[in-house]
A = this chain, B = another copy of it.
């Protein structure tokens, strides 16, 4: 049963006039019963009004949420006290329209920073969306949260009798988290809020945080998960322990769904023409591997070289060298391949047939074929592996290249 959303959830996506283009810009998600909720928010000190609102809401009512409203076209960030009042009013509009208790609706916003939300348009969005809520509305909802995204990002999982659906938006990819990344995930599993929060943190670390720089987050970034229990299956709760197979199956499905959405974000990076997987292994620690992989993935010099198809591999080691990770230059190896890598021994490339090229061994450049390197850099999917030879630490990060179009998009974002 592909693309069947979780039981008990309905969705809508409508146009309320916030986007100048008239495209859909207001999404609503509702549950027919209260949900366990967990969320991960930006650490930016200029957190947007909806982040401030949701942070308190989820802490206060982790078992009582029933709706999420999301607008694009305006981030409601850097809008002061008035902006916070707008976020409160947006939630209240939904609660009134859906006859929900107070403080049961979360809100998210994405778009231009520093501009007040047009509350008459938000009210119109609620009025339009509420009667359109349906199990099939997930597609419209996923389109209504797009900003510079070129396509909607959705993922479905069904496993152990429970269903998960996630939608995400986010496309700015140089310092990825600076462009707002929003994701809402819903599931009909029953799970205790504390267990859900712990699972979400783990899943986000290897997914959304693996296309981003720690601490380098936009004003609005939010990942919210709602679990309504409508499947009748419990992943964690009375009689179902953390070590149970139900719990493991749900945890795997949630992580897999988050990784899927995160990779879709990297593939749709602003102006992206290539998808790049960076794996660092043999680091002194996983944290070191992650720091090194992110430095490579976020280096504008590396990313422009990928865009240009120029096998300028020295920039990869240069980025590892300033990442802060422990490095012994005499032990570093570097491989490149087409594709996304494969499993543990990622440098095998995508299956047995992907050409793999070692460029550096024990810190010494090898006499590789320039034609072979250029052929790999010309691919649409490129895999880079750095082996540091120091320990067991490893991490994988996904990114895209940096193109002319990125500059176009961000040079005139508001105009």
What is the interface of chain A, defined by CB distance below 8 A to chain B?
A: 43-47, 75, 77-82, 112-114, 116, 172, 174-175, 177-179, 215-219, 299-301, 304-305, 307-315, 317-322, 324, 327, 329, 332, 359-360, 363-365, 402-404, 406-408, 410-415
Contact = CB atoms under 8 A, between A and B. Distances in A.
Contacts of A363: 78, 80
B318 A44 contact: yes
Contacts of A329: 45-47, 78
Contacts of A317: 46, 78, 113-114, 219
A300 to B, nearest CB: 4
A84 to B, nearest CB: 11
A412 B359 CA distance: 19
A72 to B, nearest CB: 15
- How many copies the complex holds: the figure is 2
B46 A415 contact: no
Q: List the 6 closest pairs (A to B, CB-CB), nearest first.
A: A113-B314, A308-B411, A46-B321, A304-B410, A114-B314, A80-B364
A411 B304 contact: yes
Given A310-B415, A312-B414, A404-B407, A175 B299 contact: yes
Among A45, A174, A299, the one with the most B-chain Cβ atoms within 10 Å of its Cβ is: A45
Among A219, A324, A411, A412, the one with the most B-chain Cβ atoms within 10 Å of its Cβ is: A411
Given A45-B322, A46-B318, A178-B299, 11 more contacts: A47-B321, A78-B329, A81-B364, A112-B314, A114-B313, A114-B360, A178-B318, A308-B410, A308-B415, A310-B413, A404-B404
A77 B322 CA distance: 14
B113 A46 contact: no
Contacts of A300: 174-175, 178, 300, 406, 410
Nearest to A114: B314
A336 to B, nearest CB: 13
A109 B113 CA distance: 43
A147 to B, nearest CB: 13
A152 to B, nearest CB: 23
A408 B47 CA distance: 35
A218 to B, nearest CB: 6
B179 A322 contact: no
B365 A314 contact: no
B304 A407 contact: yes
Contacts of A415: 308, 310
B412 A310 contact: yes
B45 A312 contact: no
Given A300-B410, A363-B80, A407-B404, A43 B322 contact: yes
Contacts of A319: 178
Given A321-B44, A329-B46, A314 B75 contact: yes
Among A179, A301, A308, the one with the most B-chain Cβ atoms within 10 Å of its Cβ is: A301
Contacts of A414: 310-312
A77 B321 CA distance: 12
A219 B319 CA distance: 9
23 contacts: A44-B322, A45-B322, A46-B318, A46-B320, A46-B329, A46-B332, A78-B317, A78-B363, A79-B365, A82-B364, A114-B314, A114-B359, A174-B301, A178-B299, A178-B319, A305-B411, A307-B407, A308-B410, A308-B413, A309-B411, A310-B413, A311-B414, A312-B414
Among A77, A322, A365, A412, the one with the most B-chain Cβ atoms within 10 Å of its Cβ is: A322
A312 B360 contact: no
Contacts of A314: 75, 77-78, 112-114, 219
B322 A216 contact: yes
A178 B323 CA distance: 12
Contact of A360 (B78, B216, B407): B78
A94 to B, nearest CB: 25
Nearest to A219: B318
